Each structure stands twice: as C-alpha cells, then as structure tokens.
C-alpha cells in the first residue's frame, strides 16, 4: 500500500494529466502516432501504377518477375515508456525534480495511449532494470503505471524492493538478475541506457513507439540506440534543470556527481568557473543532439521547472509537419 500522502499525489497527477489529455493531448497524439505504423502483410505481382519503392528486390530476383510488398495499417500501437530513475534524476533546483517532471510526462503519454485504445508498458531503469510492466490496455493499467513510476520516484533508495521473480516472465528472470547484479551496493546511482534498450529488444517482438525519458548522463549507448531505432520508433525525451546549465554564485559549494558519487569543492563566485561549467553543459547537449539526429532519433527537451505539456505538444506538431511534407 502507498502512504496516504503519496496516494493523494498520485490522484492529483491522474486528475491533472487526465484533464490535459482530454483537452489538448488526444488529437495531437492521434495525428502523429495512431494508424501511422505499417505492418508487412505479403508480396504480390507488380501491376502498372504501383510505387516502385515497394518492389521486393529479393523476391523479384528469385522469380524473375517484379513483386511488390503489401502492407496493412496497424490500428493498434504499442507504446513503451522507458523512465530513468537513476540518482541524477533526483536533482531539482525549484518546485520539482527531474524525476518528478519525468513522472508527469509518463503519465501524459500513458493516458494518451490508453485513451486511443493502444497498449502501454513501462520500464523503470538505472544501472540495471528496476521495474518492468508489460504493455496492456485499459484505464486501470494506465493508473498502475502512473502509481508505479510515481511511487518509485518517491521512495528512499535504500527502501526500494528487490526483484520478485514471480512478477516477471520466467524465461527472462536470469537475464534480469544479471542486470540487477551490476551494482548492488548503490543500485540507483548509475545509468545504463544500453541495458534498458536491450531489454526492449528482448520483450517487444513487434514494432513499438518507445519513449526514452532520461537526463542522458551516460555513455556508450549510441550503437544500441541506433539498433533499437531500426526496429522501433524511438523518441528521446531529455529532462534538464536550469541549474545544470547555469550555476548560481552561491560561494564555496561541495558538488557531488550523482552518477559516480565523487565530490569536489568549487567556488561558484568565480565567473570563470561558472562560464566554463555553462560551456561544458551546452557542449554536452549539442553533442547529444547531433548524435541523436545522426541516429534518426527524435528529440524533445523537458525543463523540469517548466511545463511538460507545451514541449510535448511542440514535438507532436513538428513531427506531424514532417510526416505531411
């Protein structure tokens, strides 16, 4: 059972995001994703007027006659939410942390998906997998996802439950356990985006829309991300906080790297230090943006201290414009 105050907050999130979905999100989600997926059905002989881009060259070479691929529209989508709950996500300089912003984004997407009759699933991850909920339909399932992601985001790290094998497909348990053993000493500190994407590859046999919600403070995941995007439609949601981009002149401050635990004493009154930190942060974001663009992965940026709805709607509108070019 959730504590009473946590249950009230989950209900508040459900009420606010549910109203946003009903008012502004449903149409945007529908126009961008619903019915956009195409699934291969069969090959048939080419007839004049067919798009030459649909020719199946392998079959054509074997038979000596031109054949084209026939597709059918996927009426039901699978939406998978990959939410980073590593320790760096706990940072927040204002009214909420990056993780709380990620929770609200996941709630919006989950409710939008079920409102349109799609399946939605959840994977919470850090250095390894934490919680996996298989994709299903229905309002109760969406509420379970909201409750799970919100509760996990508000538990102290030391109280987080370990894996329960009964909750997972038997054939995947050994693989999950291997991931979980990566860092038992401090399970939430590090981030492994590659491990989360590898899990998606194993549990999602068909094409899905994958929202990867993270601050992307990780390395070595780009190749796995490229492979995942070939099979699925991957959307990267980068969650940032203003203080990560611009330090305040607060004097001597001990900074801790949330991913490694290393600490460093710095003088934030130094304009040179603040300028260098800002340039490094901006350069990291530029490298990330370029890497995602080169991988064909869409990117949207979420400011933890701002609206979650506005950047999501901007992303939907921009993507819809591209689809109709």
Share of the chain above pLDDT 70, in %: 73
Please report the pLDDT score of residue 325 as a whole number.
63
Rounded distance between C-alpha atoms, residue 83 and residue 193, angstroms: 10
Which of the listed residues 73, 93, 122 is the one where a domain comes to its end? 73
In terms of domains, do 193 and 213 share one? Answer: yes
In terms of domains, do 48 and 193 share one? Answer: no
What the block records as the tokens of 204 is: 């999602």
Q: Which residue, 255, 253, 202, is CA-closest to 231?
A: 202
Domain total in the chain: 2
At 289, which helix (H) or strand (E)? helix 271-294
What the block records as the tokens of 44 is: 């048939």
- Residue 31 pLDDT class (50, 70, 90 cuts): low
pLDDT tens digits for range 270-313: 999 999 999 999 999 999 999 999 999 999 999 999 988 888 88
In this structure, the strands spanning 298-303 and 263-267 are: unpaired
Domain limits at 164? 4-34+76-323
In terms of domains, do 66 and 155 share one? Answer: no
What the block records as the tokens of 89 is: 């996500």
Rounded distance between C-alpha atoms, residue 142 and residue 139, angstroms: 5
In terms of domains, do 48 and 135 share one? Answer: no
In terms of domains, do 221 and 193 share one? Answer: yes
In terms of domains, do 67 and 84 share one? Answer: no
In terms of domains, do 181 and 281 share one? Answer: yes
pTM, full prediction: 0.74
In terms of domains, do 67 and 82 share one? Answer: no
| Residue 82, SS3 per DSSP | strand
| N- to C-terminal Cα separation, the chain | 50
In terms of domains, do 101 and 223 share one? Answer: yes
pLDDT tens digits for range 33-72: 654 455 566 788 998 888 788 899 999 999 999 999 876 5
Q: Vertex 123, ends 165 and 291: CA angle to 5°?
A: 140
Q: Which residue, 207, 233, 185, is CA-closest to 72?
A: 207
Question: For position 11, which CATH number holds?
Answer: 3.40.50.410
What the block records as the tokens of 100 is: 């709380």
In this structure, the strands spanning 209-214 and 233-240 are: parallel
Q: Which residue, 301, 275, 277, is CA-closest to 288?
A: 301
- Residue linked to tokens 């002149």: 249
- What are the phi and psi torsion angles at 47 (to 5°)? -125, 150
The arithmetic mean of pLDDT across residues 162-168, rounded, is 41
Which of the listed residues 73, 96, 123 is the one where a domain comes to its end? 73
More confident residue, 22 or 148: 148
In terms of domains, do 204 and 67 share one? Answer: no
At 309, which helix (H) or strand (E)? helix 309-323
Q: Does the pLDDT value for residue 157 go beyond 70?
A: no
| Residue 295, SS3 per DSSP | coil
More confident residue, 162 or 248: 248
Q: Which residue, 89, 92, 94, is CA-closest to 106?
A: 89
pLDDT tens digits for range 211-224: 999 999 999 999 99
Burial 88-107 (b: 16+ CB within 10 A, else e): bbebbbeebbbbbbbbbbbb
- What are the phi and psi torsion angles at 273 (to 5°)? -65, -45
pLDDT tens digits for range 218-260: 999 999 999 999 989 999 999 999 988 888 888 888 888 877 7
DSSP calls for 207-259: --EEEEEE-----S-HHHHHHHHHHSEEEEEEEE-HHHHS----SEEEEE-TT
In terms of domains, do 62 and 210 share one? Answer: no
| Residue 120, SS3 per DSSP | strand
Q: Does the pLDDT value for residue 7 go beyond 60?
A: no
In terms of domains, do 241 and 139 share one? Answer: yes
- What are the phi and psi torsion angles at 157 (to 5°)? -55, -35
Per-residue HEC secondary structure of 5-23 comes to: HHHHHHHHHHHHHHHHHHH
Q: Which residue, 214, 210, 123, is CA-closest to 172?
A: 123
- Residue 168 pLDDT class (50, 70, 90 cuts): very low
The conformation of residue 128, written as its DSSP 8-state character, comes to S
Which of the listed residues 73, 94, 121 is the one where a domain comes to its end? 73
pLDDT tens digits for range 109-135: 888 888 888 899 999 998 888 889 999
């Amino acid at each position: 059972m959730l504590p009473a105050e946590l249950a009230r907050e989950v209900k508040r999130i459900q009420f606010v995001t549910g109203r946003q979905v009903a008012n502004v999100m449903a149409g945007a989600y529908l126009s961008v994703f619903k019915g956009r997926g195409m699934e291969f059905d069969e090959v048939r002989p080419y007839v004049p007027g067919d798009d030459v881009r649909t020719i199946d060259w392998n079959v054509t070479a074997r038979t000596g006659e031109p054949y084209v691929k026939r597709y059918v529209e996927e009426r039901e989508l699978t939406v998978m939410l990959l939410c980073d709950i590593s320790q760096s996500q706990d940072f927040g300089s204002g009214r909420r942390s990056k993780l709380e912003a990620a929770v609200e984004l996941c709630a919006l997407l989950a409710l939008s998906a079920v409102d349109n009759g799609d399946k939605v699933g959840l994977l919470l991850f850090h250095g390894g997998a934490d919680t996996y909920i298989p994709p299903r339909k229905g309002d109760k399932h969406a509420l379970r996802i909201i409750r799970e992601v919100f509760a996990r985001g508000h538990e102290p790290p030391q109280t987080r439950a370990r894996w329960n094998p009964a909750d997972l497909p038997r054939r995947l348990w050994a693989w999950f356990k291997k991931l979980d053993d990566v860092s038992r000493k401090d399970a939430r500190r590090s981030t492994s985006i590659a491990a989360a994407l590898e899990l998606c590859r194993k549990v999602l046999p068909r094409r899905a829309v994958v929202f990867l919600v993270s601050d992307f403070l990780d390395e070595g995941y780009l190749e796995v991300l490229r492979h995942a995007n070939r099979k699925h439609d991957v959307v990267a949601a980068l969650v940032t906080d203003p203080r990560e981009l611009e330090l305040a002149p607060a004097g001597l401050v001990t900074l801790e790297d949330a991913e490694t635990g290393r600490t460093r004493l710095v003088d934030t009154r130094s304009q040179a230090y603040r300028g260098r930190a800002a340039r490094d942060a901006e350069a990291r974001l530029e490298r990330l943006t370029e890497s995602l663009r080169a991988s064909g992965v869409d990117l949207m940026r979420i400011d933890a201290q701002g609206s979650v709805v506005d950047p999501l709607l901007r992303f939907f509108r921009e993507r819809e414009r591209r689809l109709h070019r």
